[in-house]
């Protein structure tokens, strides 16, 4: 069993025609879990947008609102999404972060969707506060894994993730790298393409890779189909990957006889006489 997760900055969904085109396009792509940033959704829009997502072929969705012209993040679930998806409604209500979890028999995958600030100082403060969003796991009967996705509005490596490259690191890069180290997360696209120059956002002659998927390093061997793809409705490209979900392995095991079976008189007599029918 596997799940395909994508992250995409949609650059606003206020226009109803665009919103329904985006919803329909995403539903037809047959992704499983869709993390959106910069939705521009307000509290008054939530019920309508949730309904429109379902009309266009989607399933459940959860929204953390910003204003009608800034911020806003959401997680959309499709009808074919495997596992049990649990939405977290306790995220801060500033339109910057939203979370959900996917539960299987043997593991829980905690997914945080981030839209980082354009302001360098505010972005740095957001990254420094991330420890508040990574919960302490109280259920030790299953394994727990963190997955962090979104538009981080900064690059990890100024020499390869920007064109033209910068002489100085982006504000917030140091704090983001510390966060990844602290929680043992890895940039799965860069892991697959260590020397490639590929970008997710372009403005004028400036290009940058600022949209990321960071996974628990222990999941690396279960991640595949990592890619960056064009989205016709946004100025950002989407980042996607597939993850093989943990499943309890069913081995040959030991056969245990149902005790009620030997209560059948004919079978009991058959066994008593060594396979010969009793008289």
Which residues carry out catalysis? 115, 151, 236
Phi, psi torsion values for 130, nearest 5 degrees: -65, -25
Reduced to 3 states (helix: H, G, I; strand: E, B; else coil), residue 37 is strand
**Per the annotation, does 110 bind a ligand?**
no
Inter-residue contact 72 to 151 (CB < 8 Å): no
Give the relative orientation of helices 173-182 and 120-128 as an angle to the nearest 10 degrees: 10
**Per the annotation, does 59 bind a ligand?**
no
Is residue 166 reached through a cis peptide bond, with omega within 30 degrees of 0 on the bond before it?
Answer: no
**Per the annotation, does 235 bind a ligand?**
yes
Measured between alpha carbons, how far is 73 from 58 in angstroms, rounded to an integer?
17
Other residues' Cβ atoms within 10 Å of the Cβ of residue 142 = 14
Inter-residue contact 102 to 144 (CB < 8 Å): no
**Per the annotation, does 236 bind a ligand?**
yes
Nearest C-alpha neighbor of 150 from the set 243, 235, 74: 74
Positive or negative torsion for Cα 151, 153, 157, 159: positive
**Per the annotation, does 151 bind a ligand?**
yes
Burial 236-270 (b: 16+ CB within 10 A, else e): bbbbbbbbebbeeeeeeeeeeeeeeeeeeeeeeee
Strand partners for 244: 2
Reduced to 3 states (helix: H, G, I; strand: E, B; else coil), residue 63 is strand
Measured between alpha carbons, how far is 27 from 172 in angstroms, rounded to an integer?
34
Annotated binding site for Mg(2+): 9, 38, 151, 153, 235-236
Binding residues: 9, 38, 151, 153, 235-236
């Amino acid at each position: 069993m596997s799940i395909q997760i994508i992250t995409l900055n949609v650059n606003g969904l206020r226009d109803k025609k665009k919103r329904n085109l985006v919803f329909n396009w995403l539903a037809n792509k047959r992704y499983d879990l869709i993390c959106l940033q910069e939705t521009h959704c307000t509290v008054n829009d939530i019920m309508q947008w949730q309904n429109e997502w379902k009309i266009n072929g989607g399933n459940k969705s959860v929204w953390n609102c910003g204003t009608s012209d800034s911020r806003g993040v959401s997680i959309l679930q499709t009808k074919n999404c495997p596992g049990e998806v649990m939405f977290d409604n306790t995220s801060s209500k500033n339109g910057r972060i939203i979370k959900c979890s996917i539960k299987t028999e043997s593991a829980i995958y905690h997914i945080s969707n981030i839209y980082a600030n354009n302001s360098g100082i505010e972005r740095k403060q957001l990254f420094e506060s991330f420890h508040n969003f990574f919960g302490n796991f109280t259920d030790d009967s299953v394994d727990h894994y963190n997955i962090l996705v979104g538009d981080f509005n900064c690059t990890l490596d100024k020499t390869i993730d920007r064109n033209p490259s910068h002489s100085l690191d982006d504000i917030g890069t140091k704090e983001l790298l510390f966060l990844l180290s602290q929680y043992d997360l890895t940039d799965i696209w860069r892991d697959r393409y260590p020397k490639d120059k590929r970008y997710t956002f372009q403005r004028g002659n400036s290009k940058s890779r600022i949209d990321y998927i960071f996974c628990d390093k222990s999941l690396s061997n279960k991640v595949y189909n990592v890619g960056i793809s064009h989205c016709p409705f946004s100025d950002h490209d989407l980042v996607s990957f597939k993850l093989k979900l943990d499943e309890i392995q069913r081995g040959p095991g030991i056969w245990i006889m149902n005790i009620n079976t030997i209560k059948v008189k004919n079978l009991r007599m058959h066994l008593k006489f060594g396979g010969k029918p009793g008289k």
